[in-house]
Amino acid sequence: GQQVMQIPQYQHVQEGEDFTTYCNSSTTLSNIQWYKQRPGGHPVFLIQLVKSGEVKKQKRLTFQFGEAKKNSSLHITATQTTDVGTYFCAGGNAGNMLTFGGGTRLMVKP
């Protein structure tokens, strides 16, 4: 079945440093979604990408979908303490349910 791998599992950064999490699928995806889960909270939808090579920005967050539609990344510029949480990617394939990656837990030192 479809597998979605996400790295790294954990990342400690100093406030102000950049952060990137990567997502790789074993199969070609029709779309990819990103979610953020704050400590003690539930996952909240951030964005969906559907086009090959697509790049979307939300303030300091930049999301990319690979040309082959098998990988994606989330980059945060100049992290803040409010960015703390676990970031999940979820890959969709036509006719199949979303498959979530294992998540990257981001910790930010003030």
CA atoms within 13 A on the CB side of 45: 6
> By three-state DSSP, how is residue 83 classified?
helix
Residue from 26, 30, 58, 80 in contact with another protein (CB under 8 A): 30
Q: What is the DSSP letter of 81?
A: G
Number of residues that bind another protein (CB under 8 A): 25
Question: What's at 38, amino acid-wise?
Answer: R
Q: Is 35 in the site for another protein (CB under 8 A)?
A: yes
Q: How far is the CB of 60 from another protein (least distance, A)?
A: 21
110 prior amide bond cis, ω within 30: no
Q: Is 43 in the site for another protein (CB under 8 A)?
A: yes
User: Which chain residues interact with another protein by CB under 8 A?
Assistant: 1, 4, 6, 9, 30-31, 33, 35, 41-45, 48, 88, 90, 92-93, 96-98, 100-103
